[in-house]
């Protein structure tokens, strides 16, 4: 995430130097994004494991109920 350049009043653009607060926010945002990605991957893995444990009849019933929900 880049910050925009700012004018120095003479029409010259100066690069924005992030403050410590902005850098801390970036760090927290990166942590939250990584945590959400990990949770998503875990949910997908759990769902796959659950499907592997289901019998054929249970799978067919689950598919049928999903079709009826559409």
The predicted structure's pLDDT at residue 14: 67
What does the alpha-carbon distance between residue 12 and residue 22 come to, in Å, rounded to a whole number? 23
Q: Does 55 have pLDDT greater than 80?
A: yes
Q: Kind of pairing, strands 6-7 and 13-14?
A: antiparallel
Q: Does 5 have pLDDT greater than 90?
A: no
Q: Each residue of 10-48: pLDDT tens digit? A: 666 667 788 899 999 999 999 999 999 999 999 999 999
The predicted structure's pLDDT at residue 34: 97
The three-point CA angle 64-66-70 to 5° equals 115
Strand partners, 13: 7
């Amino acid at each position: 995430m880049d910050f925009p350049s700012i004018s120095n009043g003479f029409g010259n653009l100066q690069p924005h130097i992030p403050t410590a607060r902005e850098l801390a926010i970036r760090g927290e945002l990166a942590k939250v994004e990584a945590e959400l990605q990990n949770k998503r991957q875990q949910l997908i893995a759990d769902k796959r494991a659950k499907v592997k444990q289901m019998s054929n009849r249970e799978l067919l019933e689950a598919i049928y109920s999903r079709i009826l929900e559409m």
